[in-house]
Amino acid sequence: MFDVIIAGCGPTGAMLAAELRLHDVRVLVLEKETEPASFVRIVGLHIRSLELMAMRGLLERIRERGRRRPAGAYFAGIDKPAPAGLDSAYAYLLGIPQPVIVHLLEEHAIELGAQVRRGSAVTAFQQDDGGVTVELVDGEQLRTRYLVGCDGARSTVRKLLGVGFPGEPSRNDTLMGEVEVGVPPEEIAARMTEIRDTYKRWWLRPFGERIYSVVVPAAGVSDRAQPPTLEEFRQQLRAIAGTDFGVHSPRWLSRFGDATRLAERYRVGRVLLAGDAAHIHPPIGGQGLNLGVQDAFNLGWKLAAQVRGWAPETLLDTYQAERRPVAEDVLDNTRAQTELLSSEPGPQAVRRLLTELMDFDEVNHYLIEKITAIGVRYDFGAGPELLGRRLPDIDVKQGHLYGLLHRGRGLLLDRTERLTVGGWSDRVDHLADPTAALDVPCVLLRPDGHVAWIGDDQQDLDDHLFRWFGTPD
């Protein structure tokens, strides 16, 4: 009997496994593929994800394998630098190959004690009052208290649950890959500059020795399970640029669409959904992996609390209540960005107007906080502006706040030095620090770093400890 089985060892599943292990939950991750993905798509980790990695002591390892780039130019690729004064110690973008980030997260989960079984696709399950029986592709059956589908856009778990996935089908497919070219770099650069002014949805960029990264619209929408051919890339390059640049010797070729869909529910009884299994959208702005990892961060401690038996009755349901609106917002911003990439005169005019508007700091701030997820505010009821938001990595007497969050516990940050976490001390740490860089007396942080309470009254604090951390010991 496992406590939690996770279907899928992508970034979402691996992050969730690690979060659960921080609370000694018995976790098994079942991954369909026998080997990690071979494509080396570079993804961008945005500010909030970098903060999460810092909160769990993972950032150094990840930074070593990635490339730091300045924040900014995220929204529809509009070329504006980030506004000054972004409220984060990690105000940059980290480009990193997706297989590397998946590997690092999986390694971290295994170090913490998670089991990962590759070549084990989930094909069926039945849930009852006591748990879930999960069936694997070879007919083996496993029993678990909870099952989480982190099995990607075509999630088997979501389909078996019968959860609807409404939205828009793909209207535009894009071809992406790595190839060698048969013409000098200057010729490519010149042609790119000429066409990119009016035609945004393509590029051919150097990527390592002799290798070019190529992105080009597909001729139509087709079955994404079918890998594209080099000839399709050549035809599409000729259609856009008038030449195929002699592309040859592909390292890998892939196809992706711009379907936009959101699961109707994130939980049915003992089965939950996270990451691409719950939401898909075009990759513009580079948000999908970030969103999935942040789902996992939100769900991990709540599911652990449920397993360990101290979760308040409604805690697990706050996962959907908090994360589904965030996904809805991401879906909407990718819809807007997709329109802004159109070469039609109307969207081009809106793009020019938005480019001008972004010269206003507030507009630039608003958009960047949206894409990097540092603007997320969960609805914890009425209260000060900080309530429900994440706390940045402020200075505290032991150094940095995030250094105190590695164990995934709650934290009372107390400038009054007279409050206590009492019977919750097995779940919540207490730091009495009058010097903490806060402009409120005390905050209660959840394990995901969001502010659950602000104040200085012990009774009020106890009520909130009860709300988020259940009955005291």
Ligand X SMILES: Cc1cc2nc3c(=O)[nH]c(=O)nc-3n(C[C@H](O)[C@H](O)[C@H](O)COP(=O)(O)OP(=O)(O)OC[C@H]3O[C@@H](n4cnc5c(N)ncnc54)[C@H](O)[C@@H]3O)c2cc1C
Site for ligand X (CB under 6 A): which residue of 292, 392, 410, 455?
A: 292
Rule CB under 6 A: say whether 272 interacts with ligand X.
no
Contact 372/326 with Cβ under 8 angstroms?
no
* Distance in Å, CB of 254 to ligand X, minimum: 7
Give Cβ neighbours of residue 310 (< 8 Å, ≥ 6 apart): 427, 469, 470, 471
Q: Under rule CB under 6 A, how many of the chain's residues touch ligand X?
A: 32
The Cα 165–Cα 262 span in angstroms is: 5
Q: Which stretch binds ligand X (CB under 6 A): 80-88, 244-252, 288-296, 426-434?
A: 288-296
Query: Please, what is the Cα angle at 206 between 200 and 210, to 5 degrees?
Result: 145
In degrees, to the nearest 5, what angle opens at C-alpha 424 toward C-alphas 388 and 269?
65
Residue 47 touching ligand X (CB under 6 A): no
Residue with tokens 């989930």: 122
> Which one of 26, 39, 41, 467 is in contact with ligand X (CB under 6 A)?
41
Q: Does 228 bind ligand X (CB under 6 A)?
A: no
Question: Contact 45/53 with Cβ under 8 angstroms?
Answer: yes
Residue whose CB is less far from ligand X, 121 or 354: 121
**DSSP symbol at 392:** P
Q: How many CB atoms lie within 10 A of CB 145?
A: 18
Radius of gyration of the chain (CA): 23
283 binds ligand X, rule: CB under 6 A = yes
End-to-end CA separation in angstroms for the chain:
26
Q: How many Cβ atoms are within 10 Å of 261's Cβ, its own excluded?
A: 18
Q: How far is the CB of 19 from ligand X (least distance, A)?
A: 14
Would you count residue 12 as binding ligand X (CB under 6 A)?
yes
Element housing 70 (H / E): strand 67-70
Give φ, ψ of 394 to 5 degrees. Answer: -75, 165
Residue numbers 158-187 binding ligand X by CB under 6 A: 176
Q: Rounded to the nearest 10 degrees, how much is the dihedral formed by the CA atoms of 364, 369, 11, 69? A: 40
Say which amino acid occupies 62: I
Angle between helices 288-308 and 11-21 (to 10 degrees): 30
- Rounded to whole angstroms, what are the CA distances from 382 to 35, 85, 143, 408, 414? 48, 27, 42, 26, 21
The residue within the footprint of ligand X, chosen from 287, 333, 337, 338 (CB under 6 A), is 287
Nearer Cβ to ligand X (170/411): 170
SS3 206: strand
Q: Which residue lies nearer to ligand X by CB, 240 or 394? A: 240
Nearer to ligand X, 11 or 408 (CB): 11
Closest to 405 (Cα-Cα) out of 59, 93, 71: 59
User: Rounded to the nearest whole angstrom, what is the least distance from the CB of residue 189 to ligand X in the complex?
Assistant: 22
Considering the complex, state which of residue 150 and residue 304 has its C-beta at the smaller distance from ligand X.
150
Residue 221 as a binder of ligand X (CB under 6 A): the answer is no
Among 4, 5, 9, 259, binds ligand X (CB under 6 A): 9
Span of 149-157, 228-236, 259-267, 430-438 interacting with ligand X by CB under 6 A: 149-157
- Applying CB under 6 A, which of residues 77, 250, 286, 375 lies at the interface with ligand X? 286
Q: Which is nearer to ligand X, 334 or 465 (CB)?
A: 334
Cβ pair 169, 19 in contact under 8 A: no
Closer to ligand X by Cβ: residue 7 or 109: 7
Distance CA 245, CA 186 (A): 11
Q: For residue 402, give the DSSP letter.
A: G
Nearer to ligand X, 8 or 447 (CB): 8
Residue 30 interacts with ligand X (CB under 6 A)? yes
Instruction: State which residue, 154 or 407, has the beta carbon closest to ligand X.
Output: 154
H or E stretch covering 45: strand 42-45
CB under 6 A: which stretch of 62-70, 190-198, 289-297, 446-454 binds ligand X?
289-297
Binding to ligand X by residue 300, rule CB under 6 A? Answer: no
**Shortest approach of ligand X to residue 59 CB, angstroms?**
16
Q: Which is nearer to ligand X, 244 or 295 (CB)?
A: 295
Region of 25-33, 72-80, 390-398, 405-413 interacting with ligand X (CB under 6 A): 25-33
User: Which of 211, 216, 324, 222 has the alpha carbon at shortest distance from 277?
Assistant: 324
Q: Does 103 bind ligand X (CB under 6 A)?
A: no
Q: Which amino acid is at 442?
A: C
- The correct pick among 3, 178, 276, 393 for binding ligand X (CB under 6 A) is 276
DSSP helix/strand/coil, 262: strand
The site map against ligand X for 59-98 (x = CB under 6 A) is ---------------------------------------x
Of positions 16, 47, 134, 150, contacts ligand X by CB under 6 A: 150
Site track for ligand X across 305-344, x = CB under 6 A:
----------------------------------------
Nearby residues of 449 by Cβ (< 8 Å), 6 or more positions away: 51, 52, 55, 390, 391, 402, 405
> Site residues (CB under 6 A) for ligand X?
7-13, 30-33, 41, 43-44, 98, 121-122, 150-152, 156, 176, 256, 275-276, 283, 286-290, 292
